[in-house]
Amino acid sequence: MAARRAGTRKPGLGRGLDALLPVEQPDAGFAEIPIDRVAPNPRQPRQGFDEEAMGELADSIREVGVLQPIVVRTGEESGTFVLVAGERRLRAAETAGLERIPAVIRAEAGDDVSLTEALIENVQRKDLGPLEEAAAYQQLMEDFSMTHERVAERVGKSRSAVTNTVRLLQLPAPIQGMVERGELSAGAARALLTVEDVAYAVHIAERAAAEGWPVRRVEEAVKSRAASGDEGPKARSGAPAMRPAAVIALEARLAEHLDAKVSINYTGRGGRLVVRFSSIDDLERIYRQFLV
C-alpha cells in the first residue's frame, strides 16, 4: 500500500530495505524514483482496476504515504525503469499527486529469492509500525505469491496474527493516519473493521483517540452500533439489545478466514451475511476460500 512522504520517514520499512539492499550503484537496491520514469509492465495480466479500491488506496497514500515499495528493473534508457510488481500502488501514487515513489530496483531478472529474503528479514526488525508491518506482509503475498500461511511460517508468527495485521490496510484513510501517528492502537483500529459506515467508524476512532479508550470500549461501541441499526454518528439513547455472542464470534472468525470485512445481521429467524470485496480479483480470492 503506501512509503512515507519524502523527508518525513521515520525508521521503518524504507530504511530497513535500504540497509539490507544497499545502493552500491544507481540501478540496484532501494531508492525513491520519479514516477514518470517508470514504464508499465508489458506482461501485466490485469487490464482493469476497481476504481473505488484505487480511490481508497490513493486516499491512504495521501494520509500515510507509500508504505509498500514497488518492484522495478532498469530500463534500456539510462535513468528509466520497467515495472515488475505494484501497478496498483504506482497508479494510486500518481493519482495522489506524488512525483516520486519508493522502489526496490532489481539488478537481475531472476533475483526474486534475494528480494524476498531481504523483505522477510526487514519484517523481523523491531522498529516497524503496524501499518508498515501490514504492508510488508501484503507485499510478500501480492508481489511474491506467498500465502498467509507461508508468510506466517517465514516471519515466525501465527497465521491469524498475519491476517489480522494485513486487515489494517482495509481501514479508512483517516483511521490509518491515527494508527500511523500513534494516536490509536492497532487493536482498537481492528475493532472498527466491521463498521460499514465510514463516518461513524472515524467518529468512534476520533473519540477513542481523544479519550484514551481501551480496545474493549471500542468493541462495545461497535457492537452497540450493530445492534441498534443507527445510521448516524450519534448513537440513539437507551440500551439496545445485544447480538448473540455466537453470532459475533462467527462474524470475527469468518472475517479472519476470508481476510475480508464481514457483517452478520441476525433476526432470530434467519438473517443476512454480507462479505465486502474490493475488486473482481478479490471476489475470486474470497470465492476460492469458500471452496477450501
Annotation says 87 is catalytic: yes
Helices (H), 124-172: 130-143, 148-155, 159-166
Average pLDDT, whole number, for the chain? 76
The per-residue pLDDT for 288 is: 81
Bridge-based pairing state of the strands 81-85 and 271-275: unpaired
Residue from 56, 63, 76, 87 carrying the catalytic annotation: 87
Q: Say which amino acid occupies 81.
A: F
The model's pLDDT over 200-222, given as tens digits with 9 standing for 90+, comes to 899 999 999 999 999 999 988 88
Q: What separation in angstroms does the CA of 28 have from each of 17, 76, 187?
A: 12, 14, 37
Contact 165, 186 (CB under 8 A): yes
Structural domains in the chain? 13-168 (3.90.1530.10), 173-242 (no CATH), 244-292 (no CATH)
Higher pLDDT, 179 or 108: 179
In this structure, the chain runs to a length of: 292
The DSSP H or E segment spanning 282 is helix 280-291
Task: Tell me what pLDDT residue 48 has.
Answer: 58
Total-model pTM: 0.58
Closest to 185 measured CA to CA, from 199, 163, 164, 200? 164
How is residue 97 annotated by DSSP?
Answer: T
The DSSP output letter for 168 is: G
Q: What is the pLDDT of residues 244-290, one digit of tens each?
A: 667 777 877 787 778 777 878 776 667 788 888 777 777 888 888 77
Instruction: Report the pLDDT value the prediction gives residue 4, as an integer from 0 to 100.
Output: 39
Instruction: For residues 4-11, give the mean pLDDT.
Output: 40
Q: What is the mean pLDDT of residues 22-39?
A: 70
